[in-house]
Amino acid sequence: MHAEFVQLSLTPILIGIFASVACALPGNFLILRRQALIGDAISHVVLPGIVVAFLLTGGVASMAMMLGAAGAAVLAVLLIEAVKRLGRIEPGAAMGVVFTSMFAGGVLLLEQSDTSSVHLDVQHALMGNLESLIWFKAKGWHSLADPAALAALPDELPRMALVCLVVVALTVIFWRPLKISTFDEGFARAIGLPVAAIGFGLVVTAAVAAVAAFDAVGSIIVIAMFICPPAAARLMTNRLEAQVLWSVGFAVLAAVLGYVFAGYGPLWFGGAEAVSAAGMIAAVSGLILGLACLFGPCRARVGQGRDPAEA
């Protein structure tokens, strides 16, 4: 039982937790900046990114894929900004134009190229496949001390852990500028903070988290990780520090419960096979958000809210 857990479930759960936390942290600021949907845009362009990377390198090396996806995410962010400014179009519509166009380009390229022979399928990119990230060589908890077994951990685990660590570090280091520029952009500018660079850095961090996570959980479900835990946390407290801690807690909870429900839930209902863990994580995070919407102690608006004309 233990051996099986370590072999089949430990790594997916850990990857799920790291992915959720890495996305939830920048998600807090994106929500407060009314940019929640930038996560939507970024994750949709992951697909064209990996398609282009595949066409350029001819292989499915994960490093190239990651770089392709990250490149596409940054390009999308720049294009959205350009369309917004040049066309004087509101952010939502600008995002909609850019990410759908890039996605369409990706699908077209995919169909045009002969990728059917290799493992590069759209469904995987969109839906993820968390449960496939198992630790073959593990024989039980003691494998954690066995270098040979550790060397055979799925690549995704150290990668996601590293990204999560980097995101945590960035959040801690840039906490004050992020908080100040998110709360009062005019003041931030007046005291000389590089407001545009901070905003861009935040979005790029989110993009890196999304790109690292999509492999495991799929690019659409990443959006749930960006939005649901921080949104639920937003309804629990009136202090940013506490909100971020709540969001991390919710992210971990959703990852663990989602994986458990997906793996064991069907058994409870007499089913034989597990269902999509990534999908279930999204569903659980939605459930948490729903409960917070109904019962969260700070669910009501305070003050006048942001004047849409000034935002």
Partner 1 sequence: MSDLLAALTLQAGYNAALVAIGAALLGFAAGAAGTFLFLRKRALVSDAVAHATLPGVGLAFILMVALGGDGRSLLGLLAGSAVTAGVGLLLVEWIARRTRLAEDAAIGAVLSVFFGIGVVLLTVIQTMSSGRQAGLESFLLGSTAGMLYLDAVVIAVGGALSVLAVWVLRRPMTLVSFDPDYAAACGYDVRRIDLAMMALVMAVTVIGLKIVGLILIVAMLIVPPVTARFWTERAGRVIWIAAGLGAVSGYVGAAVSASAPALPTGPIIVLTATALFLLSLLFAPARGVLAAVLRHRRFQRRVHRRQGLLALARGELIHDPLTLSVLRRAGLIRADGVATEAGRAQAAKAARDEHRWEIARLVNQDTALTGRYDGLTPIERVFTADQIAEFDRHLGPPRPVAGDAAGA
Partner 2 sequence: MTPTMTTAARLAGLPAGLDLAAADGEALHPEAAAESPLSIRGLTVSYGEKPAVFSVDATFPDGALSAIIGPNGAGKSTLLKAALGIIPRLSGEVSVFGRPIDAARARIAYVPQRASVDWDFPTSVLDVVSMGLYRRLGLLRRMRSEERAHALACLERVGMTDFADRQIGQLSGGQQQRVFLARALAQGADLYLLDEPFAGVDAATERAIIEVLKSLRAEGRAVVCVHHDLSTVESYFDHVFLINVRRIAEGPVASTFTAGNLQATYGGRLAAGHIEQLRLGGGTA
Q: Does 308 bind partner 2 (CB under 8 A)?
A: no
**Least CB distance from residue 183 to partner 2, whole Å?**
5
Using the contact rule CB under 8 A, the part of the chain among 68-76, 159-167, 177-185, 277-285 near partner 2 is: 177-185
Q: How far is CA 2 from CA 53, 58, 146, 265, in A?
A: 39, 40, 16, 19
Using the contact rule CB under 8 A, the part of the chain among 49-57, 102-110, 147-155, 159-167 near partner 1 is: 102-110
* Phi, psi of 42, deg, nearest 5: -60, -45
Q: Does 37 bind partner 2 (CB under 8 A)?
A: no
**Least CB distance from residue 2 to partner 1, whole Å?**
26
Residue 289 partner contact from partner 1, partner 2, none using kind-dependent CB cut-offs of 5 to 8 Å: partner 1
Handedness of CA 176, 178, 181, 184 (dihedral sign): negative
Q: Does 194 bind partner 2 (CB under 8 A)?
A: no
Q: How far, in Å, CA of 241 to CA of 248, rounded?
A: 11
A 10 A CB-CB count for 189 gives 13
Window 245-274: contact mask with partner 1 (x via CB under 8 A): -----------------x---x----xxxx
Using the contact rule CB under 8 A, the part of the chain among 18-26, 67-75, 122-130, 191-199 near partner 2 is: 191-199
Sole binder of partner 1 in the list 11, 181, 205, 285 (CB under 8 A):
285
| 132-150 CB burial, b ≥16 within 10 A, e <16 | ebebeebeeeebeeeeebe
Residue 60 partner contact from partner 1, partner 2, none using kind-dependent CB cut-offs of 5 to 8 Å: none
* Residue of 261, 293, 256 whose CA lies nearest to 276: 261
Q: Does 147 bind partner 2 (CB under 8 A)?
A: no
* Residue of 99, 131, 107, 127 whose CA lies nearest to 51: 107
| Residues contacting residue 39 through CB under 8 Å, at least 6 positions apart | 23, 27, 30, 206, 210, 222, 223, 226, 227
- Nearest CB to partner 1, comparing residues 55 and 298: 298
Q: How far, in Å, CA of 106 to CA of 127, rounded?
A: 16
Sole binder of partner 2 in the list 19, 22, 23, 32 (CB under 8 A):
32
* Phi, psi of 68, deg, nearest 5: -60, -45
State which of positions 108-137 bind partner 2 (CB under 8 A).
Answer: none
Tell me which residues touch partner 2 (CB under 8 A). 32, 172-177, 179-180, 182-187, 189-193, 234, 237-240, 242-243, 301-307, 310-311
